[in-house]
């Protein structure tokens, strides 16, 4: 099974809207990536998001396009939340996690190399990183970003 980690799409600034929903560009980028995942038959088992509007909207676009009904907010996915206890609670069950930087980068680094500060992957808005697990641990299987769609 794979785990999928997604940085939310481009959001409006706090000055434009304090709730920071997705911008038009952000929504289109997320939709473009979701369409590509659909073409590749990527099918997460569930989608979890941080509860922030931009992450929830991103999760809902993926869920709608991929036909996923299990979408919910999960604690511990904020931009500056600690990653070690979150990582230890993960199950390798095909879930997609939609969150924020720097937490996502730290989480993937911790899972893959055991060091949250190693910065092994460069997330961009609406990008998806797929990690898999084998007998030696987690590894990055692929990365998909809007510029690749």
Predicted confidence band of residue 44 (pLDDT cuts 50, 70, 90): very high
Whole-number pLDDT of residue 6: 98
Whole-number pLDDT of residue 1: 82
Distance separating the N- and C-terminal Cα atoms of the chain: 24
pTM listed for this prediction: 0.96
Determine the structural domain holding residue 58 and report its residue range.
2-12+20-148
Whole-number pLDDT of residue 22: 98
Cα distance between residue 118 and residue 16, in whole Å: 34
Q: What is the mean pLDDT of residues 88-108?
A: 96
The CATH number of residue 31's host domain is 3.40.50.1240
In the chain, how many domains are there?
A: 1
Looking at the predicted structure, is the pLDDT value of residue 129 above 90? yes
Question: What secondary structure does DSSP assign to 105-130, as a single string?
Answer: HHHHHHHHHS-TTS------TT-EEE
Cβ(103)–Cβ(79) below 8 Å: yes
17: three-class secondary structure by DSSP: coil
What is the average pLDDT score of the chain?
96
Model confidence pLDDT, tens digit, residues 75-85: 999 999 999 99
Give the residue carrying structure tokens 């930087």: 101
Q: What is the mean pLDDT of residues 126-142?
A: 96
Of the candidates 77, 105, 102, 101, the one whose C-alpha atom is nearest the C-alpha of residue 89 is: 77
């Amino acid at each position: 099974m794979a785990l999928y980690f997604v940085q939310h799409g481009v959001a409006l600034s706090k000055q434009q809207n304090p709730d920071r929903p997705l911008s038009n560009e952000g929504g289109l980028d997320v939709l473009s990536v979701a369409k590509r995942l659909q073409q590749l038959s990527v099918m997460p088992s569930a989608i979890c998001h941080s509860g922030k509007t931009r992450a929830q909207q991103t999760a809902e676009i993926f869920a709608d396009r991929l036909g996923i009904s299990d979408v919910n907010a999960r604690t511990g996915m904020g931009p500056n939340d600690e990653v070690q206890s979150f990582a230890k609670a993960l199950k390798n069950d095909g879930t997609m996690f939609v969150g924020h930087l720097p937490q996502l980068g730290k989480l993937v680094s911790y899972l893959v190399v055991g060091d949250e500060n190693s910065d092994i992957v460069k997330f961009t808005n609406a990008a998806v990183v797929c990690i898999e697990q084998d007998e030696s641990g987690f590894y990055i299987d692929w990365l998909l970003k809007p510029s690749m769609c």
